[in-house]
Structure 1
């Protein structure tokens, strides 16, 4: 078995090799998620990304390559680099004690549209309806509507990623995200896996993640491409 440390260097690749294998498509040794679920791609050999991305872009208008340090090679006659997100990976060291005062609900299929709408309101651009299939989602409701949530995204036999941490603008600064992250982290620990998360460098939420017990471990960059 590949060690946790090795898996975390290329989380998309190993997610598609294990837990999310059913969502994977592969072109020339480069792995992607089915674009209906997620538009992340992964590789070890950047020399193979040009031909592979030419094939994948036929199925979607945009996608991401996720890489710690390598730079993908693309065919700039067909694909445009929209932006490079300088990201980082955080891994749980030890979860801090958090008082859970809210009623946190496991979100079932009946909430797919509400999850989609809230994420696109706060963080438009990457989430697709079938992203919901990647893991469990948890939410907090106020006045009969979903106002805060978090979910699970990439995962293997060794780790699960905390993702989609969003709160409606009308309900921020109430500690909802903090409680949801703590709850989701505990659920991951219950299945004996390591909680991780990804964010962009300089994100104002990083101090919160650190207070909860997460530690910055490595760069993890997101190359965003779109069809020319």
Structure 2
């Protein structure tokens, strides 16, 4: 059985092996989420990726493979590499206390459209509406409008990833994301799991994450492919 460190090296794979196994779609040693849930895939053996990508492209127009340092092999007759996102993994080192001045709400299925619309407003392109079912989402409302959210995404029995940190452009610079990340971090710790997150290298939000007690631990690269 893989230990925590091994799982963190391949978080998509082990999430699908564990908590998110109901969302699994597999092709000969390459594991993907069902595309209506999430468009991420993972692998150990890069020689398996060529055929798997060809097959997954039949049901998903665009999608990612996530890896620490391996380079997937592709068949350019069927799939093209749109871009590689140089990312990093951050892991909570020490919880930093944050004053909570806002009413933070656990979102329910009735908020699924609002969550989707807010994420696509700020970060269009890759969030699937049913990604809501990957974990808990929390939000801040102003004048009955959802203006800031933070959610959970990949997870196993020993870690949970914080994701979908999004604030409406009209409500930024008010500390909403800081409070939400802190709140979700503490919620994960209550489950006796390790909070982690992923971001692209150079993201201006990294200093905020570091102030909240997270540290960069490894590269985590996102290969974005598109059906040809």
**What is the TM-score normalised by the length of structure 2?**
0.99
Give 1:144 shift: 1.0
Q: Which residues of structure 2 form unaligned runs of 5+?
A: none
- Are 1:10 and 2:7 counterparts? no
Partner of 2:137: 137
CA RMSD of the aligned region, Å? 0.4
Partner of 1:67: 67
- Are 1:222 and 2:222 counterparts? yes
SS of residue paired to 2:224? strand
SS of residue paired to 2:103? coil
Give 1:43 shift: 0.2
CA deviation digits over 1:58-107, x for unaligned, max 9? 01101000000000011101111110000000000011010001000000
CA deviation digits over 1:114-167, x for unaligned, max 9? 000000000011101100000000000011100000000000001000000000
Q: Distance in 2 between matches of 1:126 and 1:161?
A: 17
- Are 1:123 and 2:133 counterparts? no
- Are 1:203 and 2:224 counterparts? no
Q: Distance in 2 between matches of 1:80 and 1:26?
A: 20
What number of residue pairs does the alignment pair up?
A: 228
**What is the TM-score normalised by the length of structure 1?**
0.99
Q: Distance in 2 between matches of 1:95 and 1:71?
A: 34
Q: Which residues of structure 1 form unaligned runs of 5+?
A: none
Q: Distance in 2 between matches of 1:3 and 1:134?
A: 22
Give 1:2 shift: 1.3
Partner of 1:111: 111
